[in-house]
Structure 1
Amino acid sequence: MADLSSLQPAPLWQFFQTICSIPHPSKHEEALATWICQWATEQQLDWQRDTVGNVIIRKPPSAGCEHLQTTVLQAHIDMVPQKGVTSRHNFEIDPIETIIDGDWLKANDTTLGSDNGIGMASCLAVLASDDLAHGPIEVLLTIDEEAGMTGAFGLEAGLLSGSILINTDSEQEGEIYMGCAGGIDANIKLAIERQAAKLPVAATITIGGLRGGHSGVDIHLGRGNANKLLARTLLQLQHQQAIELVSFDGGSLRNAIPRDAKAVIRCADLAVLAEQVAILQSCYRNELSVSEPNLTLTVEASDNQQQVLTNASQQTFVQAMVATVNGVMAMSQQIDGVTETSSNLGVVTTADDHINVLCLIRSLIDSARLHTEQAIASCWQLAGATVEMSGCYPGWAPNPESPVMALVDKVYRANFSDEPKIMVIHAGLECGLFKNAYPDMDMVSIGPTIKFPHSPDEKVQISSVGNYWTLLTEILKSIPAK
C-alpha cells in the first residue's frame, strides 16, 4: 500500500488510508462501520446505528458558529468490488493496495473505493478537526449503497435534524449536482431444458479486455458490454456452423458495465470455430477501436461434459439476449450532454435448469424508465421467462431555486475564480430516497474527480481532492443562520 501521509489535506488522506486497510465491499462493510463507531467513541462524539445499520455521528458547532443551521454531511460506507481477470485479490479479507501515479491514486488491478471512500474520509476529517469553522454537524454514513441502497431505503424520519444535506458522492471536481436518475432492477429467470450433446468437441469462448465502468456515469462512452457482445457472437456462429450451448456467464454487478463473459459450447471442429471467432474479434475491434482498444475474443478447448441446452432453449436465450435493449436509450432534452435513460445488461449466470439475467435501468424521467422496463419485460416474457422488477428508487428532481445550490455556486466562484457547472448526474445518488423521509431538506452533491469508478481502472485525482476539501470546508463556514 502506498504511503499517503505526504498528501494534502493530510487528515483526509490519513482517514482514506485507514478506510483502504479495512475491507468493506457491499454487504460486507460491518468491520469498517464498527471501526468508525469505535473511533467516534474515542473522540467523545455522539453516535448511533439505526435499524438498518447506518451510522450517524453528531458534532457540536465550533466556537462562534452556534447560530448556523445544522448541516448533514453524507457518504456511503461500502465500495464496489471489481478486479482484473488475473487478480487474486479477496475483497472480504484483503486491504486495497494503493498506488500513487503522478497526480492520480489508483489500486493494484482492483477498484480503489474512492467512490465513496474519499467522501467518507472527508466527513471523518471534519469530525476530527479542531480548527474548522462550522455549525452543528451530523454525519450520515449509509450502508449498501452500491448493491441496493438498503441504507437509504431504511433511513427513518426524525433521526436527523439538519436542514441542509451535502452528499459527497459526485465524481467531478468543479461540478455541482442538483439532481440524479432513478433506477430499477430487472430480474429475469428463463427456464431451460437440456439434452445429451451431439457434437464431439467442447470449447470455451471468452470475451475480455473490456474497460467496463460505472453503468450510470460511463454508459454514454460507447464501451462494449461483454454480455451483449458474447450473445451476438453466439448468434453469428449459429449461422455458420452447428453449435450447442452448455452455459453462459458474464458480469458480476448490475451497476457495472460487464468487462468479461464466457460461454461453454460444443462444436464439430475447433479449428473452424477458432477461425470464425478470430473474424468476429476483428469485427468488434474495428467497431470499438476507440472505446475498447484491448478487446479480446478467444476460444480454447474444454473438458466440460455437461449436457447442452436443447435447440429451442438455446435459440430462445440467444435471441432474447441479442434483442434486449442496452446502453443509452435517450439523451436529456432539457440538459445538454446528460443521459436521460439507459439500461445495463449487467449479469448473466447459468444453472442446470434456468438462466438468470440482471439488468439495471436508469432514467431522469419516470415514464421513460417505465417504457424501458416494459421493453425488457416484453422481450423476455415473449421468450417465456419470468420478469420481476425490484429495488425501484426515485430520481432526485432538480430544484433550480435551491438555496444550498446557490450557496455552493457562490463559494466555488469566490475560492476558484471560475464558474462551476450545475449538473444532473445519470447515476443513483441517495438524495432522492432521503427526500422520502426528509422532504424539506435542501440537498446538493459535490466531490473530487474520480475516473472509471466500478472498474479496476478506477482512480482519483489527488489535486482535485484538495480543491474538493477547500470547497467543502468553505461551504461549512458559509452555512446561513438558523
Structure 2
Amino acid sequence: MSKEILSLEPKAIWENFYSLTQIPRPSKHENAIQDFMMKFGQDLGLETIKDAVGNIIIKKPATPGFENRKGVVLQGHLDMVPQKNADTVHDFEKDPIETLIDGDWVTAKGTTLGADNGMGVAAAMAVLQATDIEHGPIEALFTADEETGMTGAFGLQNDVLDGDILLNMDSEDEGELYVGCAGGIDANITFKYKEDKLEKGYVGFKLYMKGLKGGHSGMEIILGRGNSNKLLFRFLKAATKKYKLRMSSVDGGSLRNAIPRESFAIVAVPERYTEKFLAGVAEYEAIYKSELSAVEPDLAFFAEPTDAPKHVFKNKSQKNLINAIYACPNGVIRMSDAMPGLVETSTNLARVVSEDGVVTIQALLRSSVNSAKEDLGQAIVSTFVLAGGKVKLEGEYPGWKPNMDSPILKTMQEVYNKKYGKVPEIKAIHAGLECGLLGAVYPHWDMISFGPTIRFPHSPDEKVKIDTVTKFWDFLVETLKNIPVK
C-alpha cells in the first residue's frame, strides 16, 4: 500500500518522500540514508560532500539570471524517531515504513511515519532535481542525528557553506513562520541499587501502563498527556505501603524526546495481598482514566500473573527510587510571558530502565530562558542526589532568539500574502530546532523555519496533511524566486 502516495501531488515531493520511507533511518543508524543522499547528489552532477559527523551537503548553482541573489541553505535532518505500537512487528534498522492514505492525511501502519523531517528533506531534494524552478545559489544541508542529540548540527564546521539565508523545513504547521525556538539540555541519571532474595510466600506480577498517546516532548507537552513513567511510579508508591509490594525491574519509555507511552514493571506481593493488589490496580486505572479522560481515552493499566522474581530491590533502594521518580518535575513548568500560549519551560521524564544493579533515567529539559533551564536542571539534580543517584546535565544546545526585523521574514510574509491572500502567523516553538546551533556556527545567517502540517510526530500516530504539502511546496518555490539580491 506504500506506493499509493506516488499518486499524490506534488509528485516532486511525494516521489522523494517515498524513496526515504524505503530506507531505514532511525537516529544513530543513518549510514544507508547518507549513502543514498551522496549518490543522489552525485547522480545529479552536483558538488556533494559528507563531512566528519555525517552531514550531507549538496550545492546547486543559480539558474541563469539569478546569480546575484543571496545564497539559500535548504536544511532538514536525515534521521527519524523509531516508535511503534506494541502489537506492530517492525525492525526500524531493516524494514521500510509502510505508508497509508487516510482521508486527507498520510500516515504509517503502526509506526512513526518519518514526515519529521522527511518532508523537509524531500522538498530540498525536489529543488535540487528541478529544471523549471528559478533560484539563486542553493546549498542543501542534510544534518545527521537530530533526534537524539543534534550531532550533525553540533559538528557542522563554519567553512563549508556560503549561503546567507537558512530555510529550515522542520516545522509542523503550514501557514506559520517560526522565528525562534527553545534550547534544551539532557539530564542523564544513574541510580545504583542493591537486591535481596525474594522471600517465600510472594507471587509475581507484571504491571502494564499502556495505551497512552505519547508524542513529541516539545510540541505536545502542552497537551497534558499522561506520562507512563510518572503514572506507573505513582501506583508503585501507594502499593509499596498498602500491599508490601517489592519491585524487581522496571522498563519505561523509549526516547528522550518522546513522551513515554508505555511502562512496565515486574513486582511481587505477599500471596495474602493478591486480591487487594489486583483491586488496587483496577482502582488506579479508574483514577487515571477519570483524570485523563479528555486526553488519554485508550489508557490501560493492568497486572498479569508471572513467575515470582528471584531477586527484588532492597527496601531502601526501592523507597529512594520511587520517591525520586515521584518527585521529579515533569511536564509544563512555566508558560511564556512574551508569547501567550507558548510553553517557556518544560521537562519530560522520558526513560526509566533497570538492569544489572543500575537504574538509568533520562529527562529532556527545554526552555527559551537559559536561567530557567538551569534552575530546572538543578531541581532535578537535587531530587536524585537526595535519593542517592548521580546526575549529569549534558548535551546543552542554545535556543534561537527571534529577529522581527529579519529581511527573509518580510520577504516570505509578502510572498505568502500575495499567493494566498493572508499574512502567515509568526511564531516561536517550544521544540528544539537546529536553528539555534546552526546560527551559532554561522551567526550572519537570516533564518526562518516552516513546513507542512504534521500531527503527532515522535509517535505511531504521526501523520501529514496532504493538501498542506502542496501549499508548502508552492510557497517554497515562490520564495526562492523572490530571494533578495546580494
The answer for unaligned runs of 5 or more in structure 1 is none
Partner of 2:217: 215
1:314 to 309, 315, 318: 318
Question: How far apart in 1 are the matches of 2:33 and 2:318?
Answer: 44
Which residue in 2 is equivalent to 1:245? Answer: 247
Q: Is the 2:267–2:309 contact (alpha carbons within 8 Å) kept by the matching residues of 1?
A: no
**CA offset at residue 304 of structure 1?**
4.5
CA distance in 1 between counterparts of 2:269 and 2:418 reads 67
Which residue does the alignment assign to 2:391? 387
> Aligned ranges for residues 241-280 of structure 1 at < 5 Å?
241-268=243-270, 269-280=273-284
Separation of aligned partners in 2, 1:327 and 1:306? 36
1:292 corresponds to? 296
- Whether 1:154 and 2:155 are equivalent positions in the alignment is yes
Distance 2:193 2:345 in 1: 31
**TM-score (norm. length: structure 2):** 0.98
Per the alignment, residue 430 of structure 1 pairs with 434
Q: Please give the residue correspondences for 1:175-186 in structure 2 after superposition, counting only pairs within 5 Å.
A: 175-186=176-187
**Alpha-carbon separation, structure 1, partners of 2:198 and 2:425:** 58
Stretch of structure 1 that moved more, 347-356 or 326-335: 347-356
SS, match of residue 239 in structure 1: helix
CA deviation digits over 1:68-110, x for unaligned, max 9?
1110000000000000011110000000000001110000010
Separation in structure 2 between the aligned mates of residue 481 and residue 306 of structure 1, nearest angstrom: 72
**Is the CA contact 2:77–2:146 (under 8 Å) kept in the aligned structure 1?**
yes
Q: Which amino acid aligns with 1:13?
A: W
Instruction: Give me the whole-angstrom Cα distance separating, in 2, the residues matched to 1:447 and 1:270.
Output: 53
Once residues 61 and 3 of structure 1 are traced to their aligned partners in structure 2, the CA distance between those partners, rounded to angstroms, is 34
- Distance (whole Å) between structure 2 residues aligned to residue 395 and residue 236 of structure 1: 39
- d(CA) in 1 for partners of 2:424 and 2:75? 21
**How far does the alpha carbon of each residue in 1:160-203 deviate from its partner, in whole angstroms, 9 at most, with x for none?**
00000000000000110000000000001111110011251011
2:294 maps to a residue whose letter is V
CA separation in 2, counterparts of 1:403 and 1:255? 32
Cα distance in 2 for residues equivalent to 1:304 and 1:133:
69
Alignment of 1:389-468 (within 5 A): 389-468=393-472
Cross-structure match for 1:12: 13
Distance in 2 of aligned mates of 1:23 and 1:72? 25
Could you list the structure 1 runs, at least 4 aligned residues long, displaced by more than 2 angstroms after superposition. 269-272
Secondary structure of the residue that 1:280 maps to in structure 2?
helix
Q: Which residue of 1 aligns with 2:128?
A: 127
Instruction: Give the TM-score of the pair, scaled to structure 1.
Output: 0.99
Name whichever of 28-37 and 318-327 sits farther off: 28-37
- 1:352, CA displacement in angstroms? 2.3
1:41 maps to what in 2? Answer: 42
- Contact 2:171 2:451 (8 Å CA) reproduced: yes
Q: Distance in 1 between matches of 2:146 and 2:407?
A: 26
Give the drift of 1:419. Answer: 2.2
Does the CA contact (< 8 Å) of 2:266 and 2:309 recur in 1?
A: no
How far the C-alpha of 1:238 sits from its partner, in A, is: 2.0
Larger deviation, residues 198-207 vs 372-381: 198-207
Q: 2:203·2:308 contact (CA, 8 Å) conserved in 1?
A: no
8 Å contact kept, 2:343–2:430: yes
- State how far apart, in whole Å, the 1-side matches of 2:117 and 2:29 are: 15
Residue 67 of structure 1 deviates from its aligned partner by 1.3
Q: After TM superposition, give the deviation of residue 325 of structure 1 in Å.
A: 0.1
- Contact kept, 8 Å, 2:268 with 2:308, in 1: the verdict is no
Range with bigger deviation, 60-69 or 144-153: 60-69
Matched to 1:435, the amino acid is G
Q: Map residues 95-244 of structure 1 onto 2, 5 A cutoff.
A: 95-198=96-199, 199-244=201-246
Q: Distance in 2 between matches of 1:340 and 1:361?
A: 11
Contact (CA 8 Å) 2:106, 2:463: kept in 1 or not? yes
Match of 2:73 in 1: 72
Whole-angstrom CA distance in 2 between matches of 1:379 and 1:39: 49
Identity score, percent:
47
C-alpha contact (below 8 Å) 1:2/1:100 kept by paired residues: no
Task: Read off the aligned partner of 1:79 and give its amino acid letter.
Answer: M
State the shift of 1:271 in Å.
2.6
- What amino acid maps onto 1:273 in structure 2? F
Deviation at 1:351, TM superposition (A): 1.3
Task: Give 1:297's aligned amino acid.
Answer: F
Cα distance, 1:411 vs. partner?
A: 1.1
For the aligned residue pairs, the C-alpha RMSD in angstroms reads: 0.8
Distance across 2 between alignment mates of 1:396 and 1:462: 29
Q: CA deviation at 1:66?
A: 1.2
Alpha-carbon offset, residue 237 of structure 1 = 1.3
> 2:56 and 2:378 mapped to 1: Cα distance?
37
Any gaps of 5 or more consecutive residues in structure 2? none
Tell me the SS of whatever aligns to 1:3. Answer: helix
Q: Look up the SS of the partner of 2:243 in the other structure.
A: coil
Contact 1:254 1:347 in 2 (8 A): yes
Match for 2:236: what amino acid? Answer: L
Residue number among 472, 475, 478 corresponding to 2:479 in the alignment: 475
Cα shift at 1:436: 1.8
* SS at structure 2 position matched to 1:183: strand
Aligned counterpart in structure 1 of residue 373 of structure 2, from 369, 372, 387: 369
Q: Tell me which residue corresponds to 2:356.
A: 352
**Deviation per CA, 1:85-136, whole angstroms, max 9, x where unpaired?**
1111000000000000111000001000000000000000000000001001
